[in-house]
Amino acid sequence: MKSRTTGSWTPVALSADLPVGTVIPARTPTGPIALWRSQSGGVSAFADRCPHRGMRLSHGFVRGEALSCIYHGWSYAQAGNCVRIPAHPGLTPPEAIRVATRQVEEGDGIIWIAADQSATRPPRLDGLAPLRSLTACAGIAAIEAAAGTDASPGGIVGFANNSQTIRMLVASLEDEQALIHVLVEGDASPPERIAASRAAEALRRMAEHIQRKGIA
């Protein structure tokens, strides 16, 4: 599924929210994923379900270059293949045991997931840096209506707030929800960052109001 705003790439999380050796849940238009960063820094995106007993892998733990399920400790390498079944330490797991993986790219402080095997690269942010992420119970159209402007081809909605231009990278989720990543200039001052964060929250409230009233 292609997003109207960012092509086949979905910005799912900020690099800063995924430290080395951790796993977090993330949402995409095609279902939940477990996003994890190995000890050496590599980011991987797995379908959020262990093929053994269906447990969410985003509840698991990272050791070295593998993600382990919290239920029985089955471990998966970055390619998605199972490398260890603790109940049977002497067993080499069969090739058939693997988790579905998603193509992932990291750039400008954003982690992107491709809807399919994409040959293109995710869009660049041109000197902007991500500040924080928010989820809105509103679709892209409602966010655009609240901002009074359409999203750019790169998926950015910009609007004026006092003398500052606030920019938000938006991606649609299922159930008329959207993920918003607030962007600021790389050299923005702390007061400007705080103002951008508050302006984005205000815009989210307005977009959710528009969504509820069905105006957009």
Partner 1 sequence: MMIPNAMVDEWYPVGLFSQLDVSGRKTALMGEPVEVGRDAEGTVRVTSADGRMLPVCVRYGHIWTSLGEPRKPLFAIPEADQLGRRLVDVGVVRVRCSPLRAVENFLDIAHFPFVHTDILGAEPHTEVQNYKVDIREDEDEVWATQVKFYQPQAAKSASGGVTTEYMYRVPAPTCSILYKTCPPRPGEWDVITLFVQPLAEDLCDVWPWMALFDDETSMTDLIHFQQTIFVQDRSILENQIPRLLPLDPGMEIPTRADLTSVAYRRWLKRHGYTYGAQLVAQ
> Contact residues for partner 1 (CB under 8 A)?
48-49, 51-56, 59, 69-73, 85-89, 91, 96-97
* Nearest residue (CB) to partner 1, 86 versus 127: 86
The CA–CA distances, whole Å, from 25 to 2, 33, 55, 87, 148 equal 21, 6, 13, 26, 32
* Nearest residue (CB) to partner 1, 4 versus 59: 59
Residue 181 has, within 13 A of its CA and on its CB side, a CA count of: 26
The CA–CA distances, whole Å, from 152 to 118, 128, 158, 159, 168 equal 21, 14, 8, 12, 10
* Nearest residue (CB) to partner 1, 91 versus 160: 91
CB of 29: closest distance to partner 1 in angstroms? 18
* Nearest residue (CB) to partner 1, 71 versus 176: 71
CB of 26: closest distance to partner 1 in angstroms? 15
CB of 161: closest distance to partner 1 in angstroms? 39
In the chain, what is the straight-line distance between the N-terminal and C-terminal CA atoms, in Å?
Answer: 22
According to DSSP, residue 151 is labeled: P
CB of 61: closest distance to partner 1 in angstroms? 9
101, 34 in Cβ contact below 8 A?
no
